[in-house]
């Protein structure tokens, strides 16, 4: 990877990217509130199945397809995969998060003169991230690793604030899940169109319950 592509990838995956991803826990806050996640061990047990059986079945293959569609300027394919993505968001909060982050990333990329086509307006976070990868000519597998790493880092940050998890266990958890990221990417690239999609019932439930949680720090 060329240095400029690497720098662009680091920029896109940075937790300081001003799109508001830090405001979402994706149900982890409720899992902590219910004592499903209470320490490093239970956090690993919560996150690893999502990497191996959910993100690898949905986000990874959809990012791959959106990336190719942007390269080919196939806007019909982009809209199709966007519809598949939104249909697989299991709760109102997850759906809203997808669209809100997509809107803020669109606004950011527009301000950075990224030559956004008119067809990009109204897209979710995943297809907009795929556009950024294609725009900056970032190699697909590196971009997929970046997406999963950003998701994982955000989840660890949520755990630090809610369990609370100490900084050393947080770093140990990140390191322990690195192999799962690589496995998720390789599995996701082999998923066929008919196999795309996965629901984890516990994740769907805590995400829905979070909507009415009495006290919370995060928006999802």
Instruction: Using a pLDDT cut of 70, give the percent of the chain over it.
Output: 100
Average pLDDT over residues 52-78: 97
| Mean per-residue pLDDT, 59-87 | 97
Hey, how many other C-beta atoms are within 10 angstroms of the C-beta on 112?
12
The answer to whether the beta carbons of residues 203 and 90 sit under 8 Å apart is yes
Residue 169 CA: distances (Å) to CA of 17, 154, 163:
24, 15, 12
Residue 1 has pLDDT above 80, yes or no: no
Fold classification of 3-9+25-210 (topology level):
Urease accessory protein UreF (1.10.4190)
Give dist(CA 178, CA 176) in Å, integer.
6
| 118/107 Cα distance (integer angstroms) | 12
Average pLDDT over all residues of the chain: 94
pLDDT, greater one: 29 or 220: 29
In the predicted model, is pLDDT for residue 219 greater than 90?
no
The token pair at 190 is: 């082999």
Average pLDDT rounded to a whole number, residues 44-72? 97
Whole-number pLDDT of residue 36: 97
Asked if residue 151 has a cis previous peptide bond (ω within 30° of 0), the answer is: no
Q: Flag whether pLDDT at 199 surpasses 80.
A: no
Gap between the Cα atoms of 62 and 81, Å rounded: 7
| CB-based contact 151:18 (threshold 8 Å) | no
Q: Give me the pLDDT at residue 165, please.
A: 95
Q: CA-to-CA distance for 97 and 105, rounded, in angstroms?
A: 12
Instruction: State mean pLDDT over 14-29.
Output: 91
Distance CA 158, CA 210 (A): 14
pLDDT given at position 215: 83
Please give the share of the chain, as a percent, with pLDDT higher than 90.
86
């Amino acid at each position: 990877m060329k240095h400029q592509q690497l720098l662009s990838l680091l920029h896109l995956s940075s937790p300081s990217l001003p799109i508001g991803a830090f405001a979402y826990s994706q149900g982890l806050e409720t899992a902590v509130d219910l004592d499903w996640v209470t320490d490093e061990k239970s956090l690993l047990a919560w996150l690893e199945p999502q990497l191996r059986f959910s993100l690898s079945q949905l986000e990874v293959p959809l990012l791959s397809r959106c990336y190719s569609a942007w390269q080919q300027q196939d806007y019909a394919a982009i809209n199709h995969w966007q519809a598949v993505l939104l249909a697989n968001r299991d709760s109102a909060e997850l759906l809203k998060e997808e669209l809100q982050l997509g809107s803020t990333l669109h606004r950011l990329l527009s301000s950075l003169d990224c030559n956004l086509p008119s067809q990009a307006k109204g897209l979710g976070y995943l297809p907009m991230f795929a556009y950024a990868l294609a725009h900056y000519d970032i190699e697909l597998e590196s971009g997929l690793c970046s997406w999963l790493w950003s998701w994982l880092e955000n989840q660890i940050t949520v755990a630090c604030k809610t369990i609370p998890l100490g900084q050393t266990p947080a770093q140990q958890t990140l390191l322990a899940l690195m192999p799962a990221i690589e496995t998720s990417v390789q599995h996701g690239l082999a998923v066929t169109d008919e196999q795309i999609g996965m629901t984890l019932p516990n994740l769907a439930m805590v995400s829905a319950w979070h909507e009415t949680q009495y006290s919370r720090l995060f928006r999802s």
